[in-house]
Amino acid sequence: MDSKDGGASLRALLAAMGFDSLVGVVAALNDGLIVLDPALNVVSMNPAAEALFGRGARDMTGMPVCRLFGELACPRDVLEETLRSGQPVVDYQTTIELGDGRRGHVLMRSAPLRARDGSELGVALLLGDVTEVTDLRKLVTGRDHYGRLVGRDPRMRELYTLITDVAGSEATVLIRGESGTGKELVARAVHDASGRAGGPFVQVNCSALSEQLLESELFGHVRGAYTGAVGDRRGRFAEADGGTIFLDEIGDVSPVVQVKLLRVLQERVIERVGDNKPQPVDVRIVSATNRDLEALLATGRLREDFYYRIRVVSLVVPPLRERREDIPLLAAHILERIARRENLAAPPAVSESALAVLMGHGWPGNVRELENALEHALVLARGAPLAAHHLPPELRDATRSAGQARKVPAHTEQERELLARVLRETGWHRTRAAQRLGIDRSTLWRKVREYGLQPGNE
β-pair type (313-316, 173-176):
parallel
Domain range list for the chain: 3-131, 142-316, 321-326+333-357+365-391, 397-451
Return phi, psi of residue 211, to 5°. -60, -45
| Predicted TM-score (pTM) above 0.85 | no
Those residues with Cβ within 8 angstroms of residue 56's Cβ, 6 or more apart along the chain or in another chain: 50
Task: Give the number of other CB atoms < 10 A from CB of residue 137.
Answer: 12
CA 192 to chain centre: 7
CA distance 312 to 329: 32
Return phi, psi of residue 396, to 5°. -65, -40
CA distance 288 to 175: 4
What confidence score (pLDDT) does residue 281 get? 94
CA distance 262 to 254: 12
3-state SS class at 3: helix
Q: Are 72 and 283 in contact (CB under 8 A)?
A: no
The 10s digit of each residue's pLDDT in 86-137 is 877 766 667 777 766 667 777 778 888 887 777 788 888 888 776 654 554 4
β-pair type (220-221, 201-205):
unpaired
Query: CATH number of the domain at 142-316, out of 3.40.50.2300, 3.40.50.150, 3.40.50.300, 1.10.760.10?
Result: 3.40.50.300
3-131 has CATH 3.30.450.20 classification: yes
Query: Side chain identity at 284, as an amino acid letter?
Result: R
Sign of CA dihedral 284, 290, 291, 292: positive
Using CA atoms, how far residue 399 sits from 120, 178, 180, in Å, is 68, 21, 20
CA distance 369 to 366: 5
CA distance 54 to 62: 17
CA distance 31 to 79: 18
The per-residue pLDDT string of the chain (458 residues; one tens digit each, 9 = 90 and over) reads: 444 444 455 455 555 544 444 444 544 556 788 888 888 898 888 888 888 888 887 888 888 888 888 766 677 777 887 888 787 776 666 777 776 666 777 777 888 888 777 778 888 888 877 665 455 444 444 468 888 999 999 999 999 999 999 998 999 999 999 999 999 999 999 999 999 999 999 999 999 888 888 998 999 878 766 666 667 888 999 999 999 999 999 999 999 999 999 999 999 999 888 788 899 999 999 999 999 999 999 999 999 999 999 999 999 999 998 898 899 999 999 999 998 898 888 888 888 888 888 887 888 889 999 999 999 999 998 888 899 889 998 786 655 555 555 556 777 888 888 888 888 877 787 777 776 776 767 778 888 888 888 886 65
Return phi, psi of residue 278, to 5°. -65, 140
Return phi, psi of residue 342, to 5°. -90, 5
3-state SS class at 173: strand
Those residues with Cβ within 8 angstroms of residue 273's Cβ, 6 or more apart along the chain or in another chain: 212, 215, 216, 219, 220, 221, 222, 225, 226, 229
Q: Are 49 and 73 in contact (CB under 8 A)?
A: no
